[in-house]
Structure 1
Amino acid sequence: MKSEHVTPQRLQALTEAAATLLRHIEGQHSPAALAMSFGAEDMVLLDLVCREAPGITPFTLDTGRLNPETHDLHQQARARYGVVIEAWYPEADLVQRWVHNHGINGFYDSRSAREACCYVRKVEPLNRALAGRRAWITGQRRAQSVTRHGLPVEEHDAAHGLAKFNPLAEWSEADVWAYIRHHEVPYNRLHDQGYPSIGCAPCTRAVTVGEDPRAGRWWWEDPTQRECGLHRNPAADAQQAAGRQ
């Protein structure tokens, strides 16, 4: 976690901008939902939603391969904020079929196998979680990886036919931790063990000083391809594919 100093003025400005956006989403894009993987960014947004826009529904995708620390934080957040965080699970028959075809840890064998696993455990449940919503909110930030440098605060999610918001797009890692410390927000204990990004246990590792924050996700693959499919941009994918031809 970053220890750089963030001025109170900067933190206040960032917080007010995010709160204003969340209130706008609640008022103009209801029903809206906050997607959570229980990373630091998600906990900042949960705290803001509970303070400023309680009409927004938080949810998480429980893939069946999460760390116990993530489940512990899910329970802690429920108790702290008095809010039910919806849990969406993969379809059992799809998981069974994938494991039969690839093996329990077959996602290490190829990118296509890993993406198929991500689809079964994350993308398909997300489709159900977003059904009937008008907007969803994520904790993505531009500084997280090379695949997110151009991330907008608001975009249209063509795959789901709704608005998508990234209120922390402009925040730095130091900004996120400044908010957490200032408001005493509970956070995932994996962060104290060198995990800047939280995902499935077999696909997430700690990173060393100076590594990209997303270096611990699918580290055996090309850094430009380390997304699970939840935040895929069809236009960007087409452009990237054209560049490889």
Structure 2
Amino acid sequence: MKNDFELLNTWFEDASIEMILTHFLQTYKGRIALASSYGAEDQVLTDMMAKIDPIAKIFSLDTGRLPEETYTLMDQTNRKYGINVEVFCPDKTALEELYKSQGINGFRESIENRKACCQVRKLEPLFRALGGLEVWITGLRRSQSPTRETMQLVEWDEANTLIKLNPLIEWSEQMVWDYINENKVPYNVLHDQGYPSIGCAPCTRAICEGEDLRAGRWWWESSEHKECGLHLKRK
């Protein structure tokens, strides 16, 4: 299988993002979806996919603690593209147990608590969202974080047992914003307020000039821990 992915990555090395998306959307039609957190990269992919296949599946995770600006963008995106992004929410019982075990903001007390919160609010809903799929598309870019530097365009996701496609893996932040501006893609207004990476409201802050792009995510933790678990490889 490793050789298969090496061949795919070599094959698509010089291909356009539109060509890559077209190939996978056609090859895996009905068994592929974009996982959107409504970040700038995901909005770029939503725009591209809507032009290639207006009924291509897109889903999102509503953790229950997203910023109001993200909910506004969710509505704007559906209206602009005439789509209905499927939303997955945390399990009610698991969420109630989380509050009982660590309180409202217990995720700040330890990495273990924070990961437990992400498990309930993100990982379990993602597991349900990926059910029946063979490929999930993400907006990951290598330059976003030290934990993403070795990621490839096409990968095998061992944790979720399906193919992960990262069409923008080689893109720079400037390329993302150039596309957004040129194509009038709706984006989260928090980006204009110093938020390059946006997650749950209590776990996201604006960054200062010169800080890493993900410095505003779980800023009380060291950089090597700054993943919720959605994109970490099993060792």
TM-score for both structures, normalised by structure 1: 0.88
SS in 2 for 1:170: coil
Distance (whole Å) between structure 2 residues aligned to residue 175 and residue 136 of structure 1: 22
Cα deviation for residue 153 of structure 1 reads 0.5
In structure 1, runs of 5+ residues without a counterpart are 1-13, 236-245
> Secondary structure in 1 aligned to 2:90?
coil
Q: Deviations over 1:170-220 (max 9, x none)?
A: 000000000000001010001011000010000011001111101000110
Whole-angstrom CA distance in 2 between matches of 1:210 and 1:173: 14
Establish whether residue 46 from structure 1 lines up as the match of residue 50 from structure 2: no
**Comparing 46-55 and 210-219, the one that deviates more:** 46-55
Which residue does 1:11 correspond to in 2?
Answer: none
Instruction: State the SS of the aligned residue for 2:33.
Output: strand
1:197 matched to which residue of 2? 197
Task: Give the letter for the 2:131 counterpart.
Answer: A
- Look up the match of 1:23: 22
Which amino acid in the other structure matches residue 69 of structure 1?
Answer: E
Partner of 1:140: 140
Equivalent-residue separation in structure 2 for 1:141 and 1:60 (angstroms): 18
Could you tell me which runs of 5 or more consecutive residues in structure 2 were left unpaired when the two chains were aligned: 1-12
Matches of 1:185 and 1:84, distance apart in 2: 17
The one-letter code matched in structure 1 to 2:61 is L
Counterpart in 2 of 1:118? 118
Matches within 5 A, 1:1-245: 17-30=16-29, 31-235=31-235
Q: CA deviation at 1:77?
A: 0.4
Give the letter for the 1:207 counterpart.
Answer: I
RMSD: 1.4
* Count of matched residue positions in the alignment of Structure 1 and Structure 2: 222
The list of structure 1 runs, each at least 4 consecutive aligned residues, that deviate by more than 2 angstroms after superposition, is: 53-56
CA distance in structure 1 between the partners assigned to 2:19 and 2:214 by the alignment: 28
Tell whether the 8 Å contact from 2:55 to 2:83 is kept in structure 1 after alignment. no
Shift of 1:55: 4.4
Q: Match of 2:95, as an amino acid?
A: V
Cα separation, 1, equivalents of 2:154 and 2:216? 27
Q: Give me the TM-score of the superposition, normalised by structure 2.
A: 0.92
**Is 1:33–1:136's contact at 8 Å kept on the other side of the alignment?**
yes
Return the alpha-carbon distance in structure 1 between the equivalents of residues 146 and 180 of structure 2. 25
> Is the partner of 1:34 in helix, strand or coil?
strand
For residues 40-99 of structure 1, what are the alpha-carbon distances to aligned partners after superposition, in whole Å with 9 as ceiling and x for unaligned? 001000000001133431110000000000000000000000001000000011011011
Once the 2 structures are TM-superposed, how far is the Cα of residue 29 of structure 1 from its aligned partner? 2.2
